[in-house]
Amino acid sequence: MRIALLGAEGTGKTTLGASLAQALRAQGQRVTLVPELLRDWSARQGRAARPEDPLLIAREQERQVDAAAGAGIVIADTTALMVAIHGAAFDQDSELYRFAIGRQRSYDLTLVAGLDLPWAPDSPRRSPRDRESVDALVRATLSGAGIGYRVVYGRGEERLRHALAPVLELLDRRPALPERERRWQWACDRCSDPECEHRLFTGLRPAA
């Protein structure tokens, strides 16, 4: 089983991936967690990023996922799709975009980390609005490509529980979450979801 963890900066994606892997191992599952390459790419290469780097990063990210595929459950933090979205110029006609979409279809489950965690940027140059823009692009891209996904909300154990539930569904370990606790796809005005987190979590955003 391949699980993709997607999400904008500051949504707890990496922490969630580690917690999900630990929880599944505690249930006797063999799990490999493939870390994100994009974050430290320039530091590891010892040079500034080049225009051709995003495709190289995306291919290497997915190569590592493939290499771990025989290890039971593979949790990818993250996938080529996030590399494409974070690229300097997001272009749906690009080789990177086509590669990323093709690879995303190969995952059994795509989890998107919701925006309900307090804003804690990795870079002082980023803002909550950047996070919202990336989040919207992630969901719009998945929806436009017809790729289903689950949005994971909550803090701590609750967030883990909401991420673990669809995995256990696929493993036929136990029933799904109650319908009121499930969120499959996003919409807001930006979509058509009256409970969209753009409204629910506005209070978490510092005043301009």
How many structural domains is the chain composed of?
1
What CATH number is attached to the domain comprising 79? 3.40.50.300
- Residue 120 has a pLDDT of 74
Q: Half-sphere exposure of 17 toward its Cβ, with a 13 Å CA cutoff? A: 24
Give the residues of the chain that fall short of pLDDT 50: 175-176, 182-195, 198-208
Beta strands in the chain (DSSP E): 2-6, 31-34, 73-76, 109-113, 150-152
In our burial notation (b when 16+ CB lie closer than 10 A, e otherwise), range 184-204 reads eebebeeeebeebbbeebeee
* Token pair recorded at residue 114: 């919701």
Q: Which amino acid is at 24?
A: L
Question: What domain range includes position 78?
Answer: 2-204
Residue written as token pair 């995303």: 104
Q: Quote the Cα angle for 34-147-35, to 5°.
A: 10
- Residue 87 has a pLDDT of 75
CA 116 to chain centre: 14
The set of long-range contacts for 154-163, using a CB threshold of 8 Å and a minimum separation of 24, is: 154/116, 155/116, 155/117, 159/12, 159/16, 160/16, 160/19, 160/20, 160/23, 163/16, 163/19, 163/20, 163/111
Q: What is the pLDDT of residues 95-130, one digit of tens each?
A: 999 999 999 999 999 999 999 999 876 655 567 788
